[in-house]
Amino acid sequence: MTSYEPPRDPDAGPVYDVVVLAGGAARRLGGADKPGVRVGGRALLDRVLAACADAGTTVVVADPRPTARPVIWAREDPPGGGPLAALDAGLRHTTARYVLVLSADLPFLQEGTARLLLTVLRTGGADGVLLTDADGRDQPLVAAYRTPSLRHELASLTKEHGALTGLPLRRLTAALDLTRVPDPVASFDCDTWDDIATARARIREHGHVLDEWISAVKDELGIDLDVDTGVLLDLARDAAHGVARPAAPLTTFLVGYAAAQAGGGPEAVAEASRKAAALAVRWAEEADGKTDAAPDGASDNRPDAG
């Protein structure tokens, strides 16, 4: 086993593809459509897809369904043939040197986790990098692999057994040199309804609820925009305190409209927010009489000073 060393550049990463396995039977959920179960208002599958939006090719191995962004659909033959058969079917649509292999039930997977896995893989010599959960168990479906290594081992298993149908995933991972990265949050998966309840409760905690809500709204509206929510919150606070409480939502709406008129994008939002925030400060200063005060306490003899 290769030891884990923190990457020198956590933001760097190679071009990669993604294979999401989403065609399981979900027996512990009573056969429910697990990829479609909503956590924080978003389907579990959509949450996973959002964490790897910059992939070159995204393949979902399952029957087609509506998703928040376009994907390539694949299916193992026969359907329900197990994770190795599903992985092989998905890999047939990939071309990148590196591939993220993910399950469709990871409510807390983030872009940063995907970048970390890929960076550790790129800077090390292992065949793959996977997360371990809170109990130290390997999670091979939250992992990045060298695509040629997967293809080679899958071909070997096919030759040995005649087919991949029904073979457990450990037959593949046991033959690979893997680096382990502990992450009990990103590796958390939803196998039971208790797991779903835990995930739904966590995202409504104070430290998570705002980011989760913003992400859900952007998905629902089809907006792919990374903005500084702190700036918008400061603007809303200034408008509420300096003008009137209803000014906060109305001002943020107008900022969004102005940013759209200016072509959209984070820069347009930041510029509109800056102008509105400066106006809110001036408004509050006028209300306090600060802008009419003459230097050194002298009276202001301007015609409109009274």
Would you state the structure tokens that stand for residue 62, as one six-digit string? 């399952």
Query: Could you give the angle at the alpha carbon of 185 between the alpha carbons of 181 and 187, nearest 5°?
Result: 60
Q: Enter the pTM of the model.
A: 0.73
Contact predicate 134/186, CB 8 Å: no
**Residue 138 host element (H or E):** strand 138-146
- Which residues fall within 8 angstroms of residue 156, CB to CB, at 6 or more apart? 175
Q: Encode the chain (306 residues) as per-residue pLDDT tens digits.
A: 444 444 444 444 448 999 999 987 667 777 778 898 888 888 899 999 999 999 999 999 999 999 988 999 999 988 889 999 999 999 999 999 999 999 999 999 999 999 999 999 999 999 999 999 999 999 999 999 999 999 999 999 999 999 999 999 999 999 999 999 999 999 999 989 999 999 988 888 766 777 777 777 677 666 666 767 777 777 888 887 777 888 888 888 888 878 888 887 788 888 888 888 887 877 777 666 665 444 444 444 444 443
Q: How far is CA 199 from CA 31, 45, 130, 185, 249, in A?
A: 19, 14, 21, 10, 29
Tell me how far apart the alpha carbons of residues 206 and 189 are, in angstroms, rounded to a whole number: 22
Helix, strand or coil, per DSSP, at residue 233: helix
In degrees rounded to 5, what are phi and psi of residue 41?
Answer: 80, 0
Contact predicate 208/200, CB 8 Å: no
- Which residues fall within 8 angstroms of residue 255, CB to CB, at 6 or more apart? 232, 235, 269, 272, 273, 276
Q: Tokens 């149908």 sit at which residue? A: 165
